[in-house]
């Protein structure tokens, strides 16, 4: 099983790829929407990249704005909503 810390690291590594710019010093407390300007399109792209990188399937049906508040909140959502058959 993937730990929350592993998810935080993976999300931080993917942010520059998804946002197409340098992102330095990102951690679990980094605000995705306010500080980094993540939007619905880049948020979905981030989840898809995370699935591909980790070889996981993530249930995105209930993914809401609050889940994208910080890197940590997204990691917590992903950890709690991994599809069992992935």
Domain boundaries, the chain: 4-80
Q: Cβ neighbours of residue 30 under 8 Å, at least 6 residues apart?
A: 12, 36, 70, 71
pLDDT recorded at residue 82: 78
Write out pLDDT tens, residues 34-84: 999 999 899 999 999 999 998 988 888 888 999 999 999 999 999 888 765
Q: Write down the architecture of domain 4-80 according to CATH.
A: Orthogonal Bundle (1.10)
Neighbouring C-beta atoms of residue 62, cutoff 10 Å: 8
Element (H, E) at 42: helix 40-54
């Amino acid at each position: 099983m993937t730990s929350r810390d592993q998810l935080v690291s993976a999300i931080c590594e993917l942010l520059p790829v998804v946002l197409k710019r340098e992102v330095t010093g990102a951690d679990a407390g980094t605000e995705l929407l306010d500080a980094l300007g993540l939007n619905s399109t880049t948020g979905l792209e981030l989840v898809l990249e995370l699935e591909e990188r980790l070889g996981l399937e993530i249930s995105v049906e209930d993914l809401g704005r609050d889940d994208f508040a910080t890197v940590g909140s997204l990691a917590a959502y992903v950890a709690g909503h991994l599809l069992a058959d992935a």
